[in-house]
Amino acid sequence: MTPDVNVLVAAFRPEHSHHRAARDWLTAALEDCAIGGTLEILPMVAAGFVRVVTNKKGFPVPDPVVDALAFIRKILAVPGAAMPRLGSEWGAFEKLCVDRELWGNDVADAWIAAAVRTHGLRLVTFDMDFADLLDPSECLLLQPRSGVQERGASYVVRRMVRKRAA
């Protein structure tokens, strides 16, 4: 498993609307590491997380960079959590960008998708746009339960369904 930027941001920021869902998932993933599971933090996701939570445009009170980096280090300190070396996904990234005629913000998602596919990972995200980039078996979509207060296990896992090309 590997979390997307949005899952890490939501888990880190208590006021985030998806905080409970993201935190519950991350806690469960780290507990799974204790019994032999693995959690991969992609370098571009870690950098994206730091960029978002320290951005004054994103939050009225952004987090200090040292706090953001400490959060990533804390995750990576858990046995079973790691940051893979990347580079081998570049060909898959180029193909995805060209084949799908991607541009702008979709390019960053394509790099994540290419890394997920190349390294045999499964992305955990709130972003439905990954349904266009990954097979359903490569992606778990977290969605808070509708109408449920932020208490208890407040997330459901939805199976990604590939969108049909127009």
Which residues contact residue 52 at a Cβ distance below 8 angstroms, ignoring those fewer than 6 apart?
Answer: 5, 9, 58
How do residues 5-19 score in pLDDT, each as one tens digit?
999 999 999 999 899
What is the CA angle 94-97-98, rounded to 5?
85
Give the full edge-to-edge strand order of the sheet including 155-159: 2-3, 123-125, 139-144, 155-159
Percent of the chain scoring above 70 in pLDDT: 86
Domain boundaries, the chain: 2-159
Q: Give the integer Cα–Cα distance in Å for 10 and 13.
A: 5
Q: What is the CATH number of domain 2-159?
A: 3.40.50.1010
The pTM of this model reads 0.85
Q: Which residue has the higher pLDDT, 104 or 143?
A: 104
Assess whether pLDDT exceeds 60 at residue 148: no
Assess whether pLDDT exceeds 60 at residue 165: no
Dihedral of CA 39/77/14/44: which sign? negative
- Say which residue the tokens 């960079």 belong to: 65
Residue 164: pLDDT band with limits 50, 70, 90: very low
